[in-house]
Structure 1
Amino acid sequence: MNTNISTKVYQLLGVFIALLLVQAGILFYQTNNVTEESSKLMNQKLPLLLKAKDLQMSVVQVQQWLTDISATRGLDGLNDGFDVAKEQAEKFHKIIDSISQLDPQHKSDYQTLKPIFDNYYQTGISMATAYVEQGPAGGNRMMSSFDDAASAINIQVDTAVQRITKTVNADLQHAVESSKQSQLTVLAVFLGCCLFTLLALRFTRSAIINPLYKLRDTVKSLASQGDNEIQPISHQDLPQNEIGQTYFALNELIEKLQAKAAEERAIATDNGRIKKALDVCHANVMVADKNLNIIYHNDALVEMMEKATDAIQTQLPNFDPHTLVGSNIDQFHYKPEKQRSLLATLTSTYTAEIDLGGRIMIQIVTPVIDNGQHEGFVVEWEDITEERDIEDQIQTLVSEAAHGNLTNRIDLSDKSGFFKRLASELNDLMEVTDTALHDVVSMLSKMSQGDLSNRLDNSYKGVFGQLCGDANNMVEKLTSVVSDLNNSSENVATSANELASANNSLQARTESQASGLDQTASSMEEITATVQQTSANTSNVADMINNAARTAFEGEQSVGKVIEAMDSIQEASGQIDKIIIVIDEIAFQTNLLALNAAVEAARAGESGRSFAVVASEVRNLAQRSASAAGNIKSLITDSVKRVNVGVERVQHSGEVLNELIGCMKEVKELVDTVSVATQEQSTGVLQINKTVSSLDEATQQNSALVEELAATASDLASQAGEVKNSLSFFKT
Structure 2
Amino acid sequence: MLSNLTLKFKILLLSALVILGLCLLGGSAYFQIRQFNAIVAETNLHVQRRSDILVEIQESAISFKTQVQEWRNILIRGNDPDRFTKHVDGFSQAEKIVQEHLSNAITLQKEEGVSSDITEKLKAEHEKLGRNYREALKRFDQKDPGTGMVVDRSVSGMDRATASQMEELAAATSAGFENYLLESDKKNQSVYKTTVSILVVICVAASAVIVGAMAFIFRDMFKTLGGEPAYTADVVSQVANGFLNIEIQLKQGDQTSLLASVENMRKQLAEIIGEVCSSADALSSASEEVNATAQSLAKGASVQAASVEETSASMEQMSASISQNTENAKITDGMAQKAAREAASGGEAVMGTVEAMQKIAERISVIDDIAYQTNLLALNAAIEAGRAGEHGRGFAVVASEVRKLAERSQVAAQEIGTLALDTVKRAEMAGTMLNEMVPAIRKTADLVQEISAASAEQNSGVAQINGAIGQVSQTMQQNAAASEELSSTSEEMSTQAIRLQESMTYFKLQSEAANSSFKKPAAKISTKPSNTGSKRKDTKPSTDDDLDKNFVRYS
Q: What is the TM-score with the length of structure 2 in the denominator? A: 0.41
By percentage of residues, which structure has more strand? 1
Q: What is the TM-score with the length of structure 1 in the denominator? A: 0.32
Structure whose CA Rg is larger: 1
By percentage of residues, which structure has more helix? 2
